Structure 1
Amino acid sequence: MSGRATHGGGPAPLVPGTKPAPGYEILAHLTRTGWLDVYDAWSAERACRCVLKTVRPDLRGEERLGERLLREGRWLREFSHPHLVRGYETVESPEPLVVLETLTGETLSHLVARVRRRPAAADVALLGVQLCSAVHYLHGRGLLHLDLKPSNVVVERGHAKVLDLSVARPPGPAPAGVGTCCYLSPEQARGGPLTAAADVWGIGITLYEVACGDVPFDCGGTVDESEDDGADVADGWYPQAEEAAVPIASRRRLPRALAAAVDACLRADPAARPTVAELAEALETALPRHP
């Protein structure tokens, strides 16, 4: 997960050679979101590359963003799971930053765009089982991820790791639009109490796009734009809040059990979706059986 990216407007990002905190040197700017800059960096203490996340220079005066970044970093530093990105350190001064492990695979969104041939059904099912494992772990620690999507999953040789806890929160009330427009569940779109079912939706819509190459809704051409809490890119309109997901069988032929599992994740009623454990069990039935 490396490369060089332009900053796309606003103040220029830090240049290579900059030392944003003792022991860290910027190697390259990777990407810019609505409020973050992400860098490839060198850790002198670990003698290895790492990823640094910082608040954009033009937004550093907004204290809530720094707190949000550090909160994510503390969670990732404390958590330990094979399908969750590792956090190394949080730095509060001179500016908030979070240090993460460098992942050498590709995001699912990049793979979907790059590889014309869709993955085998067994690979889709295995991905789903791994996402269920990571989500089960997060739920056990009292957090909902709320932003599961292909750009937040890196895969290397069939091993998936979930990224980005920037909008994660405990179950309960939430404002409308928490998450990313085309991937959030209907209840996230509307606002109100959120449960583990919101992440089941996130797993399902991620598997749907990986299997078919697109999401089951018309999102106006932009399907991967990260948003801040309560923000949206469609002036308050979310297709998943008004229409049912197109069954995956209409887009691609898959084993019946796998297709049924993905469709079940995308039921409009959160109570009608499977639990994470039920989903994992259903997905495992689509995996090849070995003696």
Structure 2
Amino acid sequence: ALPISIEGGQKDPTTLAFAALSAYRRGEMKDAAQWAKESLEKDGKGPWSSLADSVEHLTEDNVGKLRLTRPKPSTLPGGEDPTPGAVGPKLFPKGVAVSEPLKGVGGLLADAKAAYGVQDFAQVEKLASTVLFSDANNFEALRLRALAQTRAGRYGPALEDAVRGLALKPDAPDLLGAQAVTAGRSGDFATARAAALALLAADPQSAAGLRLLAFANAGLRDRAAMTAALERAAALDAANGELLRRARSLPEDGDLLSLFTDGYLLGDRTAAPLKDSPRGGLAKTLLGVGGGVLAGLALALAALAALKRRRAAAAEGALDLAMFKPDAMRAAAVAGDPPQVGPYKVLGKLGTGGMGVVYKAEDTKLGRTVALKRLRPEIAGEPREHARFLKEARIVSALDHPGIVHIYSVQEAPEGDYLVFEFVEGSTLAELVAARGRLPLAEARSLIAQAADAVAYAHAQGVVHRDLKPSNIMVDRRGRVRVMDFGVARAEKEALSRLTGAETSSGSPPYIAPEQAEGRTTPACDVYALGVCLYELLSGRTPFSGTAGAMHMAKRAGKFPPLGSPVDAVIARALDPDPARRYASPRELAAALGVVPA
């Protein structure tokens, strides 16, 4: 599909970057190098520039002998010709597929394990999700999906699956590791520390547990505890010695978290973060390409490097087991949850997502229940980003519409700032679909119309949501739709992107418009996202799936599985690749949906 798009004249930087990756995977180094170079020439700082840079680097002479032996297929597996709308395995065949007819649970899980073995994390997630659709408490499916999502950098969903799996098997070591990584990457370092301590309670000589404990202590800004954990880890495994050296040489005001890559935390046997290529960003891209061959190659190279370095090391004394007792672990888990934030009495944790921790609290002055969201420490500690984020919060707090969850204020506290939100009891649209499956057209129409009205109001105030999806749209106890996270989640994500250098685009890949993935955001992006939400409410699935690149190409082609009803025409216009051809506003979309016969 990608070479066809290139030959057809579609040469935007994103298409070129993913075409380069696709060519590299087939061993077509000349095309890969050319398309990567063209992508960088067109936009050297765009959302996918690191991907193009990595492909270009991997096709240079110094790694010219690293070739994939897969023969170039004239057709895709099953005899299908590649088409511009192909997604998932059809776009990037990986050699691991579910045999037809559809296998039972055992076969699906076996295929998922095989896919995990070749770093095909998107396939693992797909297969595990199929199992969980019929058996929501299948431990092995939860375990595999959590690990795959963690590897792919999908920390929010991975953390949810890890918690669900640990409820079934509290001592599962790989899920404790996934929980530590994903909770830490979500800003909840107290939970990360508790998970690491649980690993060490089961095995005090666990190098993995010590690595994760060091990471959590870094997030808690406890440099001494971090260094102590790394010293013990280095005593158990010499591969940790280089990271210990770097930690000791880091300036007092240095960023402790910069020491820890996901590859290191997940046990990919690297002594420390891989060094960047001369152009920068290679290791980061290799480990974060979403489970493609570049990630697998990075892990293989890391394993080879570690084998050359690794030597047996004698343990230096016994660990203090008192700190790993259950009571101590529970205390560590609670330590990060403040009992009081200003006038707000914390009642409990509502959830931990990719952008932080949210608490339920009581406003002791006004006698109302609120939600508190703790600002990520990386942002709170950087004055420019902190000021920029608070400015965005002030803009959003001015939105006054019954369909928008309000921001009341910002509350300062010793451990950081908190955003104070209106507390809404109810269910998200994502929860509704998960519980009930497909919704009737009449109900979906009402829900989308209410959300569209709230979004249209925000547009009139100059605010674009940028991350509309079912999990950001609630239905309260009175049946009213309430839209959440206007601008705030996006502002936080972009701030983290600037601070860490990570290549991220605002929004969630299945829901964002193609131009948003390319770095251009307008109100038409919210219309597109509402169209995706409508499709999901009516079908129980999103119209696009697979890797981010696969979804982008399918969106650019305007191809999605039709529902076989008159509503298809409404969805097709909302999802038009050209923003100018979509509905002019969310209310126009709602009006068109309103005349579709139920």
> TM-score, length-normalised on structure 1?
0.78
Distance in 1 between residues matched to 2:575 and 2:508, nearest whole Å: 16
Q: Deviations over 1:13-72 (max 9, x none)?
A: 66566112x201211112223332111111112212110011245664244664455345
**2:402 counterpart letter in structure 1:** P
**What corresponds to 2:370 in structure 1?**
50
Q: 1:259 maps to what in 2?
A: 568
Q: 1:214 aligns with which of 529, 541, 554?
A: 541
Determine the structure 2 residue equivalent to 1:185: 513
**Uncovered stretches (5+) of structure 2, i.e. residues with no partner:** 1-159, 164-178, 192-334, 492-502
Of the three residues 468, 474, 480, the one matched with 1:159 is: 480
Instruction: Provide the residue aligned with 1:79 in structure 2.
Output: 399
User: Which residue of the partner structure matches residue 100 of structure 1?
Assistant: 421
- Superposed CA offset, 1:81-119 (max 9, x none): 011112222224542211111111101111111213x21
In the superposition, relative to structure 1, how do residues 141 and 58 fare at CA in structure 2: closer, same or farther (>3 Å)? Answer: closer
Match of residue 231 from structure 1: none
SS state at 1:180 partner: coil
| TM-score, normalised with respect to structure 2 | 0.40
**Contact 1:18–1:25 (8 Å) recurs in 2:** yes
Q: What secondary structure, in the 3-state scheme, does the structure 1 residue paired with 2:190 have? A: coil
C-alpha displacement of 1:126: 1.3
Amino acid at match of 2:588: E
Structure 1 vs Structure 2 CA RMSD: 2.7
Residue 507 of structure 2 aligns to a residue whose secondary structure is coil
On the 8 A contact 2:355/2:489 being kept in 1, the answer is: no
Q: Which runs of 5+ in 1 are unaligned?
A: 170-174, 221-233
Residue by residue, what CA displacement relative to the aligned partner does 1:143-185 show, whole Å, maximum 9, x if unpaired?
111100001000135321110022568xxxxx97221121111
Q: Based on CA coordinates, which of the two structures has the bigger radius of gyration?
A: 2
Count of residues paired in the alignment = 257
Q: Distance in 2 between matches of 1:41 and 1:177?
A: 32
1:1-291 to structure 2, matched below 5 A, reads 8-10=182-184, 11-12=189-190, 18-20=339-341, 22-57=342-377, 60-63=380-383, 66-67=386-387, 69-94=389-414, 95-116=416-437, 118-156=438-476, 157-165=478-486, 166=488, 177-192=505-520, 194-220=521-547, 234=548, 237=549, 239-243=551-555, 244-247=557-560, 250=562, 252-254=563-565, 256=566, 258-276=567-585, 277-286=587-596
Counterpart secondary structure, 2:394: helix
CA-to-partner distance for each residue in 1:199-224, whole Å, 9 max, x for gaps?
A: 1001111111111111111135xxxx
Matched to 1:240, the amino acid is H
* Helix, strand or coil at the partner of 1:146: coil
Q: Are 1:108 and 1:153, in contact at CA under 8 Å, matched by a contact in 2?
A: yes
Considering fraction of residues, name the structure with more helix. 2
Query: Which amino acid letter does the alignment assign opposite residue 367 of structure 2?
Result: A
Q: Is the 8 A contact 2:428 2:471 kept in 1?
A: yes
Asked whether the equivalents of residues 351 and 357 of structure 2 are also in contact (C-alpha less than 8 Å), the reply is: yes
- Gap change, CA 1:176 and 1:41, over 3 Å in 2: closer
- When structure 1 is superposed on structure 2, of 36-45 and 73-82 the one drifting more is 73-82
Task: Work out the CA distance in 1 between the residues paired with 2:466 and 2:550.
Answer: 16
Q: Where is the strand percentage greater, Structure 1 or Structure 2?
A: 1
CA drift at 1:239 = 1.2
C-alpha spacing 1:270/1:87, structure 2 compared with 1 (3 Å): same
Aligned to 1:226: none
Code of the residue aligned with 1:9 in structure 2: it is A
Hey, what's the Cα distance between the residues in 2 that align with 1:241 and 1:85? 34
User: Measured at CA, do residues 176 and 39 of structure 1 come closer, stay the same or move farther in structure 2, by a change above 3 Å?
Assistant: closer
How far apart in 2 are the matches of 1:167 and 1:101?
A: 16
Is the contact made by 2:574 and 2:583 (CA closer than 8 Å) also made in structure 1? yes
In structure 2, C-alpha distance between the alignment counterparts of 1:242 and 1:29, rounded to whole Å? 38
Maintained 8 Å contact 1:27/1:42: yes
Identity of aligned residues (%): 33
Counterpart code for 1:239: M
Q: Aligned equivalents of 2:479 and 2:383: distance in 1? A: 39
Partner SS, residue 132 of structure 1: helix
Helix, strand or coil at the partner of 2:485: coil
The alignment partner of 1:217 has SS state of coil
- Conserved in 2, the CA contact under 8 Å of 1:217 and 1:245? no
| Worse-superposed segment, 80-89 or 278-287 | 278-287
Task: Please tell me the residue identity of whatever aligns with 2:460.
Answer: G
Structure 1 match to 2:317: none
Counterpart AA for 1:275? A
Following the alignment from structure 1 to structure 2, what is the Cα–Cα distance between the partners of residues 132 and 63? 35
The answer to whether the Cα contact below 8 Å between 1:69 and 1:98 also exists between their aligned partners in 2 is: no
In structure 2, distance between residues paired with 1:179 and 1:29: 24
Q: Secondary structure at the match of 1:89?
A: strand
